[in-house]
């Protein structure tokens, strides 16, 4: 099964309010194992970078000045993500910007049925705990020492490791796993309709019943006669 874990960096919180995506990082998983294939790009946002956003990801107007626009990378990005599930942390935010940028340059939106949100998985697996990417890395012993500021590709690589843990990956503790986490999404390509099978009945034959009665008759002081 192919999945893409991705993260974005933006100029703010809302594409509808004029904010833009400035970076995307994607990591390919096959059967929950990283393949080494990634997609990473910076984008010129066509607007100034707010100081508060720059403090989060460190991407300045000067750094982004010579970067290409999103539409220059759109086809390459769409080819990489294909039609498989897309995993993100607080995925509604990332999907909002991804679809906003795709729509702005005339491409169809990515269906929300493809969305897998690791915050939802984390809340199910660890109710009441902290669910930030940093907190989950700490919980699962994932090294994030090189994460000085947010970066889309680095965060996607960390999230890929977290996602594997959230869905029953490597076990770092001494306790035994007592549950199986099943990730359910509506993404079911080419799913065949379920076919109900008629119920089957099992009954002993006359010969089997006779052999059983003969065996029972040979028992000495059977437990059911001592009650």
- Per-residue model confidence (pLDDT) at position 205: 84
Residue 83 within a domain: yes
**Mean pLDDT for back-to-back runs of 10 residues, the chain (227 residues):** 97 96 97 96 97 94 97 98 97 98 97 97 95 94 80 94 89 43 46 61 81 84 72
Any domain includes 187: no
Residue 197 domain-assigned? no
Q: In this structure, is residue 68 part of a structural domain?
A: yes
For residue 197, give every residue at least 6 positions away whose Cβ sits within 8 Å of its Cβ, in sequence order, or none.
none
Within a domain: 120: yes
The DSSP secondary structure of 11-32, one letter per residue, reads: SSS-TTTT--EEEEEEEEEETT
For the domain that residue 70 is a member of, what is the CATH number?
3.30.420.10
* Residue 173: per-residue pLDDT: 44
Which domain, by its residues, includes 50?
Answer: 2-166
Q: Identify whether 102 is part of a domain.
A: yes
Burial of 28 from C-beta contacts in 10 A (0-12 / 13-18 / 19+): buried
- Residues marked active site are found at 150
State the pTM of this model.
0.74
The answer to the question of residue 201 being in a domain is no
What is the predicted pLDDT for the residue at 197? 65
Domain membership flag for residue 225: no
Number of domains in the chain: 1
């Amino acid at each position: 099964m192919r999945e893409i874990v991705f993260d974005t960096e933006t100029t703010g919180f809302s594409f509808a309010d004029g904010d833009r995506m400035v970076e995307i990082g994607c990591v390919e998983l096959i059967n929950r194992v990283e393949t080494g294939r990634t997609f990473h790009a910076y984008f010129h946002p066509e607007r100034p970078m707010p100081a508060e956003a720059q403090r989060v990801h460190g991407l300045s107007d000067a750094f982004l000045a010579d970067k290409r626009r999103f539409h220059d990378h759109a086809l390459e990005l769409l080819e990489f993500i294909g039609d498989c599930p897309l995993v993100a942390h607080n995925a509604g935010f990332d999907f909002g910007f991804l679809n906003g940028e795709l729509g702005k340059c005339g491409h169809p939106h990515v269906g929300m049925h493809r969305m897998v949100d690791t915050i939802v998985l984390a809340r199910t697996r660890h109710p009441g705990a902290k669910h930030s990417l940093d907190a989950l890395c700490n919980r699962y012993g994932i090294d994030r020492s090189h994460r000085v500021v947010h970066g889309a590709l680095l965060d996607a690589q960390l999230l890929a490791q977290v996602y594997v843990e959230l869905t029953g990956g490597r076990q770092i503790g001494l306790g035994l796993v007592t549950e199986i986490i099943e990730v359910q999404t509506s993404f079911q390509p080419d799913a065949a309709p379920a076919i109900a099978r008629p119920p089957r009945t099992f009954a002993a034959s006359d010969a089997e019943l006779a052999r059983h009665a003969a065996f029972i008759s040979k028992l000495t002081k059977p437990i059911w006669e001592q009650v």
